[in-house]
Amino acid sequence: MPQSAEKVLDHAPLFREPEYRQMLAEKKLNFECPHPDQIVTDQRELTKTWEYREKNLAREALVINPAKACQPLGAVFAAAGFERTMSFVHGSQGCVAYYRSHLSRHFKEPSSAVSSSMTEDAAVFGGLKNMVDGLANTYKLYDPKMIAVSTTCMAEVIGDDLRSFIENAKNEGSVPCDFDVPFAHTPAFVGSHVDGYDGMVKGVLEHFWKGSERSQAAGTINIIPGFDGFCVGNNRELKRLLDLMGVTYTVIQDASDQFDTPSDGEYRMYDGGTKIEDVKGALNAEATLSLQHYNTRKTLEYCNEVGQATASFHYPLGVQATDEFLMKVSAISGQEIPETIRMERGRLVDAMADSQSWLHGKKYAIYGDPDFVCAMARFVMETGGEPTHCLATNGTSAWQVEMKELLASSPFGQDAQIWAGKDLWAMRSLLFTEPVDLLIGNSYGKYLERDTGTPLIRLMFPIFDRHHHHRFPLMGYQGGLRVLTTILDKIFDKLDRETSETGVTDYSYDLTR
């Protein structure tokens, strides 16, 4: 074999060696029972047709590669945004391993979470004992300031009641009676990660606010970022803008430091997060603003019930969306938007104008969470692009209505199509039958890029196969500038590849563009 101590190959070149090619070919022939190559080719070609597209889009009983995750993932992410909080998932170890690995692979940081380790006996008799033992172990081993409890499918199917289980665990001495253990029921078989996020944030606020007297502090604002794979860069950019304005605010669920810990010789199981005392004091804010409406519907309802004014946005990215967010903050806080920020806005507009000739008329397919798809479509239209396909597997009928209104507001959205509840296998048919110039989404889109040849821009959670994108903002004017640059780089890279053949296509292999 080619691998030896003197010649160590990475897996990519290693598996291209003749010995491995032969081994893999024999494995396919002897164990995979393959169909003849012509049948495979015919089926592959069929999946590129309009005929197949109609059958594909008519699917109801099967989901293939959905652009979403399950509720408990959102709850685990939400818990990571609070001070010294350990996420405790009432369910099996395998489920929790998935949530931890998903977050760790995206952020390239450890993601701490524990489970009640439910197995077959707990599925029959209930998971109370697992809860009692699990909370005790979590409290003693990991020294948290708060334990945030969520559920998986198993606990929800058998009907375990978290409120009573936690009370029983406290009565048995698992944790002190006054120790903070907020919870949220997050069944993984309905909704998506954005609903789990919403449930956990609401559970934390309700835990600290219920029964407390509210004393409104005029001009103060709570900000809820929502489930955001770019929280590291976005939250810091958000705080920078609010500090420049002189606003009194609390970012509720701030995971920016937790998922960006420094390498300085000290391991931090917990870092940053919204302080517990600040969560308690946030009850007195005049208003709570959500940066992602579909991530926080129940939470905003609760904030409204306690007497706060509420407003929500759809991932403020680009010029107009950032304008609306900052003007709302200014109106509530009474603080003017300073010249520094106004200049940043002008620089983004200038950059968009500088590159307008390369962006105008480009067609895009966008997929991801409802708020992100809305924001990205809006920004694309600001650049003169056309958001041809807008797909959100966890998009609702209300989202469809909002998207129709948004797209109808611009001449660049007139031919756009909205796909709520569809998956990435449906997107594959769309890209073959109605091709676009660029695809925007997460790492799972690389298979669409390979199959259809549509260049992928990674701007959505999760991003597994690229590093450190999440450290830079997408929101605000500075974030908009980064998104603009990312899109342009992909356009120019594609153009270079298409014009690089010496003496054949290199008449457009330009040095200056």
| Residues known to be catalytic | 153, 157
Token duo for residue 482: 């980064």
Radius of gyration, CA atoms only, the chain: 25
Q: Which residues pair with 149 in a beta bridge?
A: 88, 183
Nearest partner of 333 among 235, 491, 223, judged by Cα: 223
Q: Starting from the edge strand earliest in sequence, which strands make up the sheet with 113-115, in order?
A: 113-115, 85-90, 146-151
* 3-state class (DSSP) for residue 388: strand
Q: Starting from the edge strand earliest in sequence, which strands make up the sheet with 309-312, in order?
A: 249-251, 217-224, 285-290, 309-312
Do strands 146-151 and 217-224 pair parallel, antiparallel, or not at all (unpaired)?
unpaired
Evaluate whether 152 touches 90 at the Cβ level (below 8 Å): yes
C-alpha 401 chain-centroid distance? 22
Q: Report the 3 state secondary structure along 79-141.
A: HCCECCEEEEEECCHHHHHHHHHHHHHHHCCCCCEEECCCCHHHHHHCCHHHHHHHHHHHHHH
Do strands 363-367 and 438-441 pair parallel, antiparallel, or not at all (unpaired)?
parallel
Evaluate whether 106 touches 76 at the Cβ level (below 8 Å): no
Look-up of token digits 């200038």: 350
Angle at 338 between CA 336 and CA 344, to 5 degrees: 135
Rounded (10°) CA dihedral 328, 332, 335, 337 = 0
User: Looking at residue 454, what DSSP letter applies?
Assistant: P
Question: Hey, how many other C-beta atoms are within 10 angstroms of the C-beta on 191?
Answer: 17
Q: Which residues pair with 287 in a beta bridge?
A: 221, 309
Do strands 217-224 and 285-290 pair parallel, antiparallel, or not at all (unpaired)?
parallel
Burial of 196 (0-12, 13-18, 19+ CB in 10 A): buried
Nearest partner of 217 among 309, 289, 298, judged by Cα: 309
Evaluate whether 445 touches 424 at the Cβ level (below 8 Å): yes
